[in-house]
Structure 1
Amino acid sequence: MDLRRRHHVTFAGRDDAARSLVFAHGFGTDQRAWAQIWPAFADEFRIVLYDHAGAGQADPAAFEQHRYLTMDGYARDLNALLDELRLQEVVFVGHSMGAMTGILAAIARPEQFSRLVGIGASARYLDGPGYRGGFSEADLNALYRAVTTGHDAWAEQFAPVAMGNRDRPELAEHFANTIKRVPTDAILTVLCSIFQCDYRQAVQRLQRPLLLLQTRNDAAVPLEAAEFLHQAIDGSTLRVIDAEGHLPHISAPERVLEALQDFVRAPG
């Protein structure tokens, strides 16, 4: 299958731009999550947006459960997509699982990337000895049970916690509705691939500049997890932005743009 159709790839910006800016969304969203971010770079970059398998308008047949039991499947998709588009040394911006997708893809194929931005990124969500990922085994077991017994009800509970910004309930409502569109079996597979992963050793092999953006209050990724990632990756930069919630590119796009624009536009 044509990977552009498989992942519902869309383009914006300048077709003749010397550099490409690739965006990868996080769990429960799709490429539309970047609608308030990419236009700021449209005059300088070729913009590439796509949907992960199992999300948005990606071809439903693309989601094969055995392929996406870990984040590595999404990283292989990204590498293959960049090959099909014949893109090298891209500037990459990813959110949450999208951020880890980019990091793993850049470790496997460093020539495809020049620099990366990770928003709300984590190498490990499960707590462990000397490490705070934000979730205990009991937390995750309860989460999986809740999804299995009531997909829509769980989405309505999870969305406000992840989004934060309780004074703007329309943000969480929109997020919950996008989660509800994903079939329950696909939701469980994606959640397992995210929450059961442990890339704390793997991320140390990244050899490209990385900017980590973290909000001051993220229910999904505590600051300690972001700090671990920063310390594990040589040459990375961690910026805590004045925003809350796990999806600041949606809830506080002006803060995200302020934090990433110089990094994205830097030469090389």
Structure 2
Amino acid sequence: MEEYEGGFSMSQIEHLLSSIESNYEEWASGFASLVVDASDPLSILKFGNCLKRMRPEVALSLAKTVFLSDHRDILDKVVIPCDIIQTRNDIVVPNSVPKYMQSKIKGKCEVSIIDTEGHFPQLTAHAQFVEVLARILGTGPMNLDFELGSGPRNRELEKETCKTEH
């Protein structure tokens, strides 16, 4: 596993977890700015607000699960076809990660790089993300003659997605 190069070092992860514990509101705003495409301030704000609605202890547990889990040792057991969607520049998951995964997965594995920044192309590069999904699913080109995220149903989905019990 020595050829693997992940996104954050252990000291960065420890600092992230400590920040969640010590000043959750500040961490949520800062983390959103770090992982969402900087050219999309509305998505940064939405993601930051979504994080702030989460209880800090839930966010800490989730962050520990995400950042302290390592499943590289099972990649060679994956034999089904896989598609990995990655952005051009993602501070959380650098491009070395999907390349590593692709080299270890035994089944057919394709990597699609979306020409955008950040960890959440579904928030910031809707059209490109949907195009990649359509290609993967074999559904052909999608009609995207609407503004994603602006309709009343999307606002309701945002509320549902970010809703947590207090």
- Normalization by structure 1: what TM-score? 0.49
Partner Cα separation in structure 2 for residue 144 and residue 202 of structure 1: 26
Aligned to 1:195: 67
* Greater percentage in strand: 1
Q: Which stretch shows the higher mean deviation, 146-155 or 231-240?
A: 231-240
Mapped pair 1:260 → 2:147: no
Query: Structure 2: where are the runs of 5+ without partners?
Result: 140-166
Q: How many residues align structurally? A: 138
Partner Cα separation in structure 1 for residue 135 and residue 29 of structure 2: 36
Kindly provide the amino acid, as one letter, of the partner of residue 140 in structure 1.
Answer: I
- Normalization by structure 2: what TM-score? 0.78
Matches within 5 A, 1:135-174: 135-164=8-37, 166-174=38-46
* Greater percentage in helix: 2
* Deviation for aligned residue 1:227: 0.8
Q: Deviations over 1:149-175 (max 9, x none)?
A: 1111000000011002x2321110100
Aligned to 2:49: 177
* Deviation for aligned residue 1:244: 1.4
* Deviation for aligned residue 1:263: 1.8
Kindly provide the amino acid, as one letter, of the partner of residue 218 in structure 1.
Answer: D
Q: Deviations over 1:87-133 (max 9, x none)?
A: xxxxxxxxxxxxxxxxxxxxxxxxxxxxxxxxxxxxxxxxx843211
Aligned to 1:186: 58
Aligned to 1:226: 98
Partner Cα separation in structure 1 for residue 63 and residue 86 of structure 2: 21
* Deviation for aligned residue 1:214: 0.8
Query: Structure 1: where are the runs of 5+ without partners?
Result: 1-127
User: Secondary structure at the residue paired with 1:216?
Assistant: strand
